[in-house]
Each structure stands twice: as structure tokens, then as C-alpha cells.
Amino acid sequence: MSSLSYNVSGVLYDSDSESIEYNGLTYDDLLHSNFNDTTFNENYLARYIGKGPNMERILLIIPSVSSKVNLNYDDSLRFIIKILDEHLDRKYSLVICQTCISWTDSNSYFFVNQWYNMLPRYKKKNLVKVYLIHSLMMTKTFLTLSNPFKSSKALDKVEVFDTLSDVLHKLELNKRNMLRNFPYIVQRAEEINLGIQRPISPFGTDLWILSARLGIRYKEFHHIPSILCYVLQYLESKEYVTTQNLLHLQMDSTRLYEVVTKVEELGENYEFLSVEEVVLVFRLILGTQRCGLFGEAHTQFASLIVNKSTFEEAQEELKRQVKSLKSELFECILCIIKTLRVIVRNSNRNGMNLKIISKTMAPFFFRPLKPDVYIYKLLQLYEGLLSSMIEKPGLYFDKDPQTKLVKQEHTNTESTKESTRETKESTRETREGKSKESKSRETSRESKSRDVSRESKRETTRESKSREVSRETTREKGSRLIEDKSPRNDSINLSDTHSN
């Protein structure tokens, strides 16, 4: 949906105005004072979410995030001052979400103006832009009628948008995890306004999607859906975890529908009134997951039953299924398993021992998409697998998947360094080998040339010897010829002598 954008001149963000006080307290007084309610903590009220296209800081303010903000106005104002003060010394823009849940849009509008008007003048001048989201007609009318600006430079300072995506796209903050900065009530209200038939809900929406869009830090986990954190926190509390037959608690249908409606509207802002409500919401969140928490793993376990595999083989298959989980779902399942461990540790008070919990909760983890004839056999297997996960979660889950990821990256870096070293060493060895080969070749060439010279000398010697031999033979032949020409005594015949 395209954004509905206005260039408005009527908004109370006058950077030239003097700072005002609130009940006799200045900006610095509230900045350095303590909260009236020491437990006051509304993380969604104000936060820094990134840098805009011109490198200005983007500050998000959601005044109507919960009823506590309206009921404790002083601490709400003190909270926003303390959270945003460090970002106001540089250029910044404001994103103000006016989703009407606990306040009207006009109340949230004046709350932010109260904070801005208390700022020192040099902090006011650093304001670049104001983006209003989900503003109703009251705010738009007031913006049009009022004209507090004293400088024409501020005529285009305010823009009004209908959707979160349009604002994030304009600010170039449309990243994967940016929606986590907006609470459940804001995201659901926007989807309803856009006419989406099945808006986001704690019931029926996949847990990994809830984690991706609404995940917050809970204990050692990084991204657990806010509503699930809220429920698990209640279940593990001392007042609730010791309740007899804790996970078997029921309530009448009328009250059930009222609770479901309220939780869908308010999410984690709903105030639970009884243990039964917490158990109901917990079971509904898990029970409305398609095919259970482990998805379509039922098919793999059914084939193990058909092939009459052992329980150890089923455990190995479960390990493979855990490794194939999305990181968000991995954390959710492990977080739920640890909550069930807390309940088991209090079994002497709540009566929920390991066997009972496994029998009660196994269908929430493993469930076929369609009716299965082997389900009676699979239920026993699933109960055993869930018992094993609760008893020894380390057998299936790493303690901290993020640490594992860091270790994996570290090992990859080390292996890269090692391979680089090996490559350098092999290059050196290759060079040394080549130099040795070239030296050996030169040596062999020199030895060959020496051998050739020796052979040539030998041949020369042989030739000289052969010449001498030929000379000797020639001499002998000449001497023999001389001897043959001289008269020999033994060659005279007796007859010749006698005749003489």
C-alpha cells in the first residue's frame, strides 16, 4: 500500500522555542532523578533503531504501548528522557507510532510534544524530520489547523504514513529484523487496518514467525515471542508453579472466549487474573501449532514404528529433527522444555511429575497432520521422547546455539588460516623443490658435459693411439720390404752353385 504523506506546517516542533518545565522540573532534573516506580520498564516506549539515509539517528517512540505509560505519566516522561538523551547531540529524526491501544492519538501526540518542548534549544535544532504512523483524524485535523512554526524551513518537517513498511523503506531501514522494534499490538493493528483476513495472533501463527517478528531476549535466549515470554514467566513464578494439577486446570467456555479475545487484542499487555488463564493461553499457543512443535516429523517416527525400530534409533531421529529446526523454533522449544523442567522440580507441590507432564504435553510437541492408524503406538514413543528431552535436554540441544554459531565461525576462521598456512608452506616447498630440481638439472648437465669432455678426450687418445699403431705397422711393413729386396743365402739353389 502506498504511503499517505503530508507536508504539514502545523506541528508543535519549534526548534527556536525556549525549554519548558513539567511540574516545576526541568529537563535536567528529570534526566538525573530516579523513577517513582522502581519496577517501571517499558522497552517499547522509546528506542534507537538505526541510521537514516542521511546518517541521522532514527528514534522510535510508541506512547500507547501499554496502560502503564498512561497511568504513570511522570515515569513515562522520565523514561523517554533517559533513553533518548544520548542520541540528541547529533542530527536525529523521530518516528512516532500513534497506534491507539491504551491512549487516544491526541494524548500520545501531546505526550511526545511535552518531551520535545522540554529539550534544550541545541538539542531541538538537531531534529531533521518527524514521521507519524497510524495517526487518526483527530491528529491530522489538529496538524492542519495549528500553525506554531516560526521558520519557513520547517514547513516540510512532518510526514504522515499509514504503514510501517513505507516508513522503514523511506528511511532505508527495511531490514529483516526491523519489525522486532514494534510491539505485537502495533503489528496486529496495522494488519487489521490493511484488511488482512488472518492477522498475526498468538494462536495459530507459527512460533518461528512470532519469533522473527516479535522475538525479545528472555533469560539466555535471544529471540522468544514476547507473549510466550510473558506466559512462561508466570508459569515459573513461585505463586503459580506450586499450584496443584497446574497443567490440568480448566475454565468455563464463556471466560475462555473472553480471555482469548483480550490476549489477541493486547498480546503481552494483557494482565492475567488467575492461574487458569495462564495455563489456558499456554496450552492454546502450543495446541494451535500446525503438526505440533516438531512440524511434520511425525512421518519419520511413523516409519520407525512400521520398521520396528528401537527407542535408541528414535532418539537418533529426534536429534536429527532438532538439528534441522529453524534457529527461532529451536530456541522456543528449548525454552519451553526448560519451563517444563521447572514444573517437574516442583512436582512435590503441584503433583506434575515427569510421567504426567510427558503424557499431558507430548501431543503438543508431536502430532500428525492427518489421522494415523499407528497413533496409539506413537503416543507411547512420543511420551518417552518428551521425558528424555525434559530429563536430559543437553542430549538433544546445545546450551547456546549462538555460541555454537560463534564457535563454528571461529573454527571456520581457524581452518581458513590453517589452509592459508598450508598453502604458503606448499608454495615454499614447491619453490624449494623447483630450485632443487633446477640445481640438480644444472649439476646433471655439468656432469654430462664433463662426461662428454672425458669421452672426447678418450676418443682423442684412442685416435692418437690408433695413429701410432698405424705408423708402427707402416714401419714394420717398410722394413720387411727392405729385407725382401736384399739377397738371402738360403734362397740360392745348390744346382746353381754346382753349375758354377
Average of per-residue pLDDT across 66-88? 88
Domain range spanning residue 364?
215-401
174 and 220 fall within a common domain:
no
At residue 150's C-alpha, the angle toward residues 149 and 154, to 5°, is 55
Banded model confidence at residue 499, pLDDT cuts 50, 70, 90: very low
Q: Indicate left, alpha or beta for 99 from its phi (over 0: left) and psi (-120 to 50: alpha).
A: beta
Residue 166 lies in a domain: yes
173 and 236 fall within a common domain:
no
The yes-or-no verdict on residue 206 having pLDDT over 50 is yes
155 and 242 fall within a common domain:
no
Banded model confidence at residue 408, pLDDT cuts 50, 70, 90: very low
Residue 62: other Cβ atoms inside 10 A: 26
Banded model confidence at residue 500, pLDDT cuts 50, 70, 90: very low
174 and 269 fall within a common domain:
no
295 and 168 fall within a common domain:
no
3-state secondary structure of 239: helix
Q: What is the mean pLDDT of the chain?
A: 78
Domain boundary among 381, 401, 421: 401
One DSSP character per residue, 416-485 reads HHHHHHHHHHHHHHHHHHHHHHHHHHHHHHHHHHHHHHHHHHHHHHHHHHHHHHHHHHHHHHHHHHHHHH
The yes-or-no verdict on residue 353 having pLDDT over 90 is yes
Distance from C-alpha of 70 to C-alpha of 103, rounded to nearest angstrom: 7
Banded model confidence at residue 432, pLDDT cuts 50, 70, 90: low
Domain boundary among 401, 433, 464: 401
**169: nearest Cα among 215, 133, 205, 125:** 133
Residue 248 lies in a domain: yes
Distance from C-alpha of 179 to C-alpha of 124, rounded to nearest angstrom: 28
Banded model confidence at residue 255, pLDDT cuts 50, 70, 90: very high
CB 164 within 8 A of CB 133: yes
Banded model confidence at residue 384, pLDDT cuts 50, 70, 90: very high
140 and 220 fall within a common domain:
no
Lowest mean pLDDT among 28-32, 102-106, 485-489: 485-489
The yes-or-no verdict on residue 478 having pLDDT over 60 is no
pLDDT 10s digits, 297-325: 888 888 888 888 889 999 999 999 999 99
The yes-or-no verdict on residue 326 having pLDDT over 80 is yes
Cα separation of the two ends of the chain: 160
Distance from C-alpha of 297 to C-alpha of 317, rounded to nearest angstrom: 9
pTM for this prediction: 0.71
CATH code, 40: 3.40.525.10
Residue 157 lies in a domain: yes
Provide the pLDDT for residue 362. Answer: 92
Residue 190 lies in a domain: no
Domain boundary among 401, 428, 456: 401
Q: How many domains does the chain have?
A: 2
Pairing label, strands 127-133, 92-97: parallel
